Amino acid sequence: MEWTESITIDRPDTQVFMAISDLHEVCQWSAWVVPAGGGCSVVGDGTSFGSELILRDSRGVERGRLRLVAARLDRVELQFLSRGPGRRAVDLDLAYRLQDVGASATIVMLDASAHPRLPAGLRHLAEPRLRRELRGAHSRDLRGLKAHVEGQPLGR
């Protein structure tokens, strides 16, 4: 399953890039943190490839893991292992593409590719619900990113 969501953020691409490529900042705006209920922690320095953001529920049980795979000013790639419907594992490949549109504005396009770990028959049944839930979370993610970045001073 693949899809793209996008949003325009009224800040320069360098500022948006920092908010996406630093996992400590991702903990502050990601839509995945709140549903987990227990917050997040970062393994590694949060900006180097291989650094991971760990999501935990209110009991401290790990619910997801986001790994920084690649980062350059126009693209940040992440891999996310999460639990979908029925608490089945779902692997997500995420690419945040940044396009500077001038006048201190950036278009962020979030390309997502989901790979549920389900047998073929169950995958076919689960995909519509999973797509709705994941796309909704990604839309909330982009809105959270926008609010986070636009809430900071210009050029931070």
Can you tell me the distance from the alpha carbon of 113 to that of 110, in angstroms, rounded to the nearest whole number?
10
Over pLDDT 90: what percentage of the chain? Answer: 49
The dotted CATH code for 2-150 is: 3.30.530.20
Average pLDDT, the chain: 85
CA separation, residue 143 to residues 6, 31, 52, 69, 148 (Å):
10, 9, 22, 23, 9
- Tell me the whole-structure pTM to 2 decimals: 0.85
- Mean pLDDT of the region 98-112: 93
Per DSSP bridges, beta strands 75-83 and 62-72 are antiparallel
Over pLDDT 70: what percentage of the chain? Answer: 80
Identify which has the larger pLDDT, 141 or 71: 71
Query: Which residues contact residue 103 at a Cβ distance below 8 angstroms, ignoring those fewer than 6 apart?
Result: none
**pLDDT at residue number 127:** 67
How would residue 118 be classed by pLDDT, with cut points 50, 70 and 90? low
Do 78 and 91 contact (CB within 8 A), yes or no?
no
Per-residue pLDDT reduced to its tens digit, 44-64: 999 999 999 998 878 888 888
Identify which has the larger pLDDT, 22 or 3: 22
